[in-house]
Chain A
Amino acid sequence: MKRAFPQATKADVALLLEGTYPFVSGGVSSWVHHIIRSFPETHFAAVFIGSRREDYHEIKYELPENLVHLETHFIFDKKHHHSKKKMAGNPKGFEKIKELHEWFRAPGESALSQEIKSLPFYLDPVKGVHHGQFLHSLLSWEFISARFEQYCTDPSFVDYFWTVRNMHTPIWQLAEIAQHLIPAKVYHTISTGYAGFLGALLRHNTGRPLILSEHGIYTKERRIDLLQSHWIKDNRNAFQRDPTVISYYRELWIRFFEAIGRFCYDAAGTICSLFEEARQRQITDGASPEKTRVIPNGIALSRLKPLRGKRSVPPPPILCLLGRVVPIKDIKCFIRAMRTIVNILPEAEGWVVGPTDEQPEYYQDCRNLAENLGLADKVKFLGFQKITDILPNAGVLVLSSISEGLPLVILEGYATGLPVVSTDVGSCKQLVFGLGEEDEGIGSAGEIVGIGNPQALANACINLLGNADAWQTASNAAVTRVERYYTEEIMINQYREIYEGALAQWRE
């Protein structure tokens, strides 16, 4: 982290990245890296937004030359030194905040006011409510107290007060980032959330186009995380607690991310998703249908095509899971499935290929589970490896994830002729069975099973590995499908069209 990042005074496209490239490897990061390299004539700036500095280590990619500017911001690291002197607060500003909250509650009924979209609202105490006013003004206190009285179902005002303060502080930090960011002709955010909110502020402040490309659906993933988080307080006593009603603070956090997501959807001119279901989800969450479009991922085939002939016949009994060792990949389901597979095919091995340092405690849990199930020598955690070394040695690609977009690893496996057994998440079904008559005619490139069902996962793997004809048919379908629908050219051409459209709009 101590190395000097590239710095510039302006860029063509500013990528707004939350918790991903270049400090995290994986699908989204690879995609970002790929996009930057695919437009060598375009100068990119990257704004990395992370939680705390210690959560991110070294840069995982060799930065392309056309990435001319990189800056990092850690929103939970900053210490605020606002003077704690008494202040009344700007009544007009708080009136606007009230309007904003009403808009979040019923977005269809009124338009979002222009003042609240502007950057000076968050930075200038006369034009709006700056951070100091939010933290220390009398009006802020009255506003928070009134909303507690009106809406909060949790008995603790103290927890409510601090939750509201902590939750909203990043808003002002993002406004400061927006103020100091080098000028760019187009802003491109890879998620909603904090990066999306920053994009919306930049769009409103500069008038330049904002593009949103979502790989997963940020608000949905946040909601799942928040529903299961143990750090959120619930102070309801035995008489107040209704198990069917989630705690107020949990709901507050969920609504916060939904609200800033909506703010981003409102500002973005083009909203991209990877597959149709994700597009529908964006519309449900507040995106205007006419702004949305689907652009599936694509990969460069030239590097992987030569690997097809290197695999042994019959295919080796190696089940390969390519992905980060994190809960969302449900590595444990894969390990449990390996117990069944090894019972039937004792020579089988499970390889988990991907970084293990992102959530060390989960990695340890996985190792423990493998030991508990007597699979310590059958399930191998290989860490980060070159896919060109791994894929020719694998017999089946396995994806046990509980949530995905359009996984690049499936396309990469397909490019080498490797069939996949995947859980029914994201667009995996579409990748395995095809979408539309022509695509479906290619045949299935593997098997789809329900999430969290190790027995079904194991059976599907055994069926593929145990039947050479079925394996070959699936392998052929995999190659045909990736070559026809998921190439780099198809994806890049669509983004070229979007970038050119956005840049032309700015020129006008």
Chain B
Amino acid sequence: MIYKFYALAGLSLEIIAVRILYLSLGTAPKLAVFFIVHALASYLASVALWRELPGNFQSPRKQTIMFFTTFSCFIPVLGIIGIALSSLFCVHFYKENKEFDIHSITTPPYMSEARVYLSQFGEGGARARLVNAGSPKRQKMTALLAMEAVSGRSSNEVLRIAMQDNDDEVRLLAFGMLDSRENVLNSRIHELMRSLDDPKKEVAEIAEIHRNLAMLFWELVYQELARDSLVEYATEKALHHALKTAEILPDDSGNQVLIGRILMHRKEYNAARHAFWRAKDLGIPVSRVIPYLAEIAYLECDYGTVRDLLASDTSFFSIPVLAQVAAFWGDAS
């Protein structure tokens, strides 16, 4: 904004400078006043133009502005037009040269990037060692640490097995890892529940909070961080918040999928099916709901429907997780 002011001030001063030439004064004082006002106008216009230059032309700042000022000052009118035109050219047509020269440099001291470390075992190996009660403790400990890099659900079960280990340290480490995963979700839940009490929240914000709470409670269930009677509690809370979201945003297809999944977990298959179809009607791709519908049919032992559903969309064959299932049911027909 300040630069627009500079441009305007520069232009106004230049007009004043030209007007000064037509005043009835002596030649010397007239030229002196003209030169001072014109120099100031040139400086202000240069600052404004400098601001519009592309980043790689702006540096060094002082010298660039001085160059523009000198140019405008000593070639009145034409100078400033010339600078404006070249700035426009730079802004719109000049392409930065992005090619870099490549040089070879020697490795600086204490850089060990080139060292190669051999892995003791991969993720599968880590799982196997934790599940095997006879593995040496040191191996179990390192395997446990490897589980930290594995995403929640697939490794939580292994961590629970490690929590029953005979060795105190293995148990404690597994416990700590599970606990910290649960803490992340719980603290977020608490934060959102607190913000739900804020009377100043807009309806849209409340819907967003309910949606996030539903997902977080569901995550506790899905990642198997909540167990036994706590699963029931977390599922109930997830459903409560998902239904609250649906009250405010009845056309939210993603929320309908979540409702379907929670209901499916609660073995309320008819209601779950209804939610999935509703999600489809609301525009969610059919390939996202059919696997759930097929799973419900499978759980109800309605295998014909499983086959029909999986045959209804060939896109499953391009999804690695589903391709084998779809192929199996395709072969079964």
Query: Which residues in A have some Cβ–Cβ distance to B below 8 Å?
Result: 145, 148, 152-153, 155-158, 220, 223-224, 227-228, 237, 240, 242-246, 327, 330, 332, 336, 339-340, 343, 365, 368-369, 371-374, 402-403, 425, 450-455, 458
Contact = CB atoms under 8 A, between A and B. Distances in A.
A451 B183 CA distance: 17
B94 interface: no
Residue of B111, B125, B229, B233 with highest tally of chain A CB at under 10 A = B229
B173 interface: yes
B117 A402 contact: no
Contact of B229 (A227, A237, A340): A340
B119 A343 contact: no
A245 B120 contact: yes
A455 B227 contact: yes
Given A153-B117, A244-B119, A372-B186, 5 more contacts: A155-B113, A244-B142, A327-B179, A368-B187, A452-B178
User: For the complex, would chain B's binding face be called helix, strand, loop or mixed by DSSP majority?
Assistant: helix
Nearest to A367: B190
Contacts of B118: 242
Nearest to A155: B112
B163 A244 contact: no
A244 B186 contact: no
A372 B175 contact: no
A332 B34 CA distance: 82
A240 B175 contact: no
A244 B120 contact: yes
Interface of B: 109-113, 115, 117-123, 125-126, 141-143, 145-146, 148-150, 163-164, 168-169, 171-173, 175-180, 183, 186-187, 189-190, 193, 227-230, 233
Residue of A242, A340, A374 with highest tally of chain B CB at under 10 A = A242
A454 B163 contact: no
B230 A371 contact: no
Contact of A242 (B119, B164, B227, B230): B119
Contacts of A373: 230, 233
Given A153-B115, A153-B117, A451-B163, A228 B149 contact: no
A244 B172 contact: no
A374 B229 CA distance: 13
14 contacts: A148-B110, A153-B112, A155-B113, A224-B169, A224-B172, A228-B177, A237-B113, A244-B121, A246-B145, A365-B183, A368-B190, A450-B163, A452-B163, A454-B230
Contacts of B117: 153, 240, 242, 245
A336 B230 contact: yes
Nearest to B147: A243
Nearest to B122: A244
B131 to A, nearest CB: 15
Given A245-B120, A339-B233, A403 B168 contact: yes
Nearest to A362: B183
Across the A-B interface, the 9 shortest Cβ-Cβ residue pairs = A157-B110, A455-B228, A368-B190, A243-B149, A243-B146, A244-B146, A242-B119, A340-B229, A228-B176
